[in-house]
Structure 1
Amino acid sequence: MEMNKILYKTILKNAFFVPFKIRFWDGEVIKYGEGESEFTFIFNNPIPLTEIKKDPSMALGEAYMSNAIDLDGNLQKVIEYLYNNSKSFLHGPIINKFFSNNRKKSKDNVEYHYDIGNDFYRLWLDDSMTYSCGYFQSPDDTLNDAQKNKVDYILRKLNLEKGQTLLDIGCGWGELILTAAKEYQVKSMGITLSSEQFLKVKERIKVEKLEDLVEVQLLDYRELKKRKFDRIVSVGMVEHVGKDCLHEYFCAVDKLLMPKGVSLLHSITCNSGVAIDTWIDKYVFPGGYLPTVEELTSNIINEDFHLIDAESLRIHYAKTLEHWAKNFENALPEIMKIKDETFTRMWRLYLNGCAASFNCGNIDIHQLLFTKGVNNEMPLTREYMYQ
């Protein structure tokens, strides 16, 4: 045990540029750095050092879930300190692990994450239950404001006109297709692989009496046949497609989109295109893959689409996640009534870790707007997106 403590001290000593403390399972407390400590790293139980060296994300993630380690301080900030220090143990070997997401695997993966209960998501998402990056027109915007802004922004980018048809691939709880129908009088269709989301969207369509304009189906995008749409949008869905199926996704969009049609892809992206967080894959988003901008634009070009606009919303997602993490903590008494402590610690780490990743630039998020073939009818400038 004493040797373990010496090795822990060696690993952690240079992991942070700020003053901090370590408290061990036997009560010993040591301090590094000058000035007041910003946090205390707590070892409730030893963790095998071989596991930390082999896969620090998995080892520390599982240790936090089981309360073998804990933290007295701001979790997001501590993770950012680790990411911003090139000498920290989080900068270990890159894990290459890619998945082939066939239709059954895709459905299983989506259900694993999204079908854990609408009641759970309702406790910490905004009023519209929009589970994707918001758009903050002002730092003072609430989460509700940001999610409404995001939906409005996407619909403006698509340059919708009354009477057109819109497909939302991965429609979530339906806010975008419902808003499109109400604000633009377009016929909207949403598809999802989540049974929980499907039932909620059906309920919302009925409550808002939009049966003539909005439909939702529980199916894979590859199963949608003999339909054509003027506009296609996908928000936070392509991350579930997988590296091997990216080309298949764009082929499907090509078949479903009318000539001169417009599509918007809203996706988390990563710089390297080879790093998979093994802990997130195992516990949060199985089968996920974050494409690079190069991969996305290459597929767009290869399908003879024309890229007309690209925008990064990285800071917007960091702020969105910070709102979610705060809401999550505020709702913890209610969450603990339906989920156990291991689950809540997992989600706390996930939300704070993702916020840190966006703030540090480890991952990004882009909106790519493209047309099928040449479309000379789109507005000449980006001004229309802000009106």
Structure 2
Amino acid sequence: MDIDKLFYKHLMKNLFADPCEVNFWDDELIKYGIGNPQFRINFNEPIPKLKIIRDPYMTFGEGYMLKKFDVVGSVQKVIESIYKNQDSFLHQKNGYTKLFKVFTSNIRENIENIQFHYDIGNDFFRLWLDETLTYSCAYFMSPEDSLLQAQRNKVTHILRKLNLTPGQTLLDIGCGWGELILTAAKVYRTKALGITLSSEQYTKTLRRVENEGLQDLVEVQLIDYKELEGRTFDRVVSVGMIEHVGKEHLNDYFSTVKSLLNEDGVSLLHCITAYKESPTNSWIKKYIFPGGYIPTIQELVALMAANNFYLIDVESLREHYTKTLEHWIQNFENSLPLIMKIKDETFIRMWRLYLNSSAASFHSGNLDLHQFLFTKGVNNTLPLTRKNIYF
């Protein structure tokens, strides 16, 4: 992923008071703001980030002089638009240095942290996950359900809660290997976009979309959710992703979902939860989930309210995760001869400890798993009961 490009996108997003277009050096055209664009910035080449941080006025002045970028429209309008935006970093002392550090460290950390855990090889995950490569809590309609059936149950459970209809748009933040967006397209004829920071998940999901001939309905992007520009959706879902954003960025998640949802839109958040705040286990943080944080139920509900969401439904799936992990553990141990061909003993012992300690945490109640269903604005069209979920 091009960190320089992400830096520029974030810079342009927060720079102007008026709607505009920015054409980057690779010919990607992005519209910022609502309404007709008042001008367009054409970048002919990237300008070093450090120069912008040290002296943005000099850097952009010389950049225009030396034709590093052009303006289509009134140059005066461009400058006035910057001045009118009182929230711009240019109106704050050391504002951009602070913004740059927060933005780049968060994006880079997100990418590195996700890839640390998920890009250790599809071949490894394939040995102990189910056939759909679903790596999150399953839903057991019966104790006798296979892991594959329970994972399909989970996807069905979520899609029913979202109350999808044909033609609606769906965003899956942290789409994994694509099972949810593929099912939404096939069953509901939903136009679905899945985004991930894992290059291995992206490649595999893209192949699945092509193999099933769903290119007209399903799209996949390798992108951070905060960098998704110029699009809104009827439904937004996230399964097992918010645990990776960090405590300091929890509100960023909800405010971003709010901006991505259409009015009356519905969102479902499926995530591990805690009942009291505590620091992340240092071993888990170092070896399994660097940058991870398990949010408390209180934090999540408070942030939903702070962002003016209406909380519709909350469901605990704690023991479902215990059973899911027990299936994974059994598959892991049964696959040891094959795992030993691609991973060393230290790695195997590390993952064995991780899976087993996780099962113990859910079964003992130290951790929980909740699904939160909430809406942007008052949505009076949703079913009055849960019959649509359990029929």
Question: Is 1:268 aligned to residue 279 of structure 2?
Answer: no
Give the corresponding residue for 1:224. 228
Question: Is 1:114 aligned to residue 123 of structure 2?
Answer: no
Give the corresponding residue for 2:185. 181
- For 1:131-150, list aligned pairs within 5 A: 131-150=135-154
Give the corresponding residue for 2:301. 297
**Deviations for 1:311-348, whole angstroms, at most 9, x for unmatched residues?**
00000000000000000000010000000000000000
Give the corresponding residue for 1:80. none
> What secondary structure does 1:337 align onto?
helix
> In the alignment, residue 139 of structure 1 is paired with which amino acid?
P
> What secondary structure does 1:335 align onto?
helix
- For 1:159-198, list aligned pairs within 5 A: 159-198=163-202
Cα drift, residue 384 of structure 1: 1.0
Q: Out of 317, 336, 340, which is 1:336 matched to?
A: 340
Give the corresponding residue for 2:127. 123
Where in structure 1 are there 5+ consecutive unaligned residues? 1-98
- For 1:337-356, list aligned pairs within 5 A: 337-356=341-360
Cα drift, residue 276 of structure 1: 1.2
Backbone CA RMSD of aligned residues: 1.1
Cα drift, residue 154 of structure 1: 0.2
Give the corresponding residue for 1:104. 108
> What secondary structure does 2:311 align onto?
strand
Distance in 2, matches of 1:274 and 1:357, equals: 14
Distance in 2, matches of 1:248 and 1:103, equals: 12
Identity %: 64
> In the alignment, residue 220 of structure 1 is paired with which amino acid?
D
Give the corresponding residue for 2:162. 158
Tell me the number of residue pairs that the alignment of Structure 1 and Structure 2 aligns.
Answer: 289
Give the corresponding residue for 1:373. 377
**Deviations for 1:124-178, whole angstroms, at most 9, x for unmatched residues?**
0001000000000101111011100000000000000000000000000000000
Where in structure 2 are there 5+ consecutive unaligned residues? 1-101
Cα drift, residue 353 of structure 1: 0.4
Give the corresponding residue for 1:327. 331
Q: Out of 312, 315, 327, which is 1:308 matched to?
A: 312
> What secondary structure does 2:264 align onto?
strand
> In the alignment, residue 287 of structure 2 is paired with which amino acid?
Y
> In the alignment, residue 288 of structure 1 is paired with which amino acid?
G
> In the alignment, residue 374 of structure 2 is paired with which amino acid?
F
Distance in 2, matches of 1:207 and 1:276, equals: 40
**Deviations for 1:210-245, whole angstroms, at most 9, x for unmatched residues?**
000000000000000110100000000000010000
> In the alignment, residue 110 of structure 1 is paired with which amino acid?
I
> In the alignment, residue 119 of structure 1 is paired with which amino acid?
D
Cα drift, residue 383 of structure 1: 1.3
> In the alignment, residue 293 of structure 2 is paired with which amino acid?
Y
> What secondary structure does 2:177 align onto?
coil
Question: Is 1:235 aligned to residue 220 of structure 2?
Answer: no
Normalised TM-score (structure 1): 0.74
Distance in 2, matches of 1:300 and 1:241, equals: 16
Distance in 2, matches of 1:383 and 1:104, equals: 43
Cα drift, residue 262 of structure 1: 0.2
**Deviations for 1:61-105, whole angstroms, at most 9, x for unmatched residues?**
xxxxxxxxxxxxxxxxxxxxxxxxxxxxxxxxxxxxxx9960110
- For 1:51-90, list aligned pairs within 5 A: none
| More RCO (CA 8 Å, sep 6+) | 1
Distance in 2, matches of 1:297 and 1:340, equals: 42
> What secondary structure does 1:102 align onto?
helix
Cα drift, residue 275 of structure 1: 3.0
Distance in 1, matches of 2:139 and 2:114, equals: 24
> In the alignment, residue 224 of structure 2 is paired with which amino acid?
D
Distance in 1, matches of 2:297 and 2:213, equals: 39
Give the corresponding residue for 1:247. 251
Cα drift, residue 349 of structure 1: 0.5
Give the corresponding residue for 1:204. 208
Cα drift, residue 382 of structure 1: 1.2
> In the alignment, residue 121 of structure 1 is paired with which amino acid?
F
Distance in 2, matches of 1:385 and 1:306, equals: 19
Distance in 2, matches of 1:206 and 1:141, equals: 29
> In the alignment, residue 277 of structure 2 is paired with which amino acid?
G
**Deviations for 1:159-212, whole angstroms, at most 9, x for unmatched residues?**
000000000000000000000000000000000000000000100000000000
Cα drift, residue 274 of structure 1: 1.8
> In the alignment, residue 193 of structure 1 is paired with which amino acid?
L
Question: Is 1:384 aligned to residue 388 of structure 2?
Answer: yes
Distance in 2, matches of 1:274 and 1:244, equals: 14
Normalised TM-score (structure 2): 0.73
> In the alignment, residue 375 of structure 1 is paired with which amino acid?
N
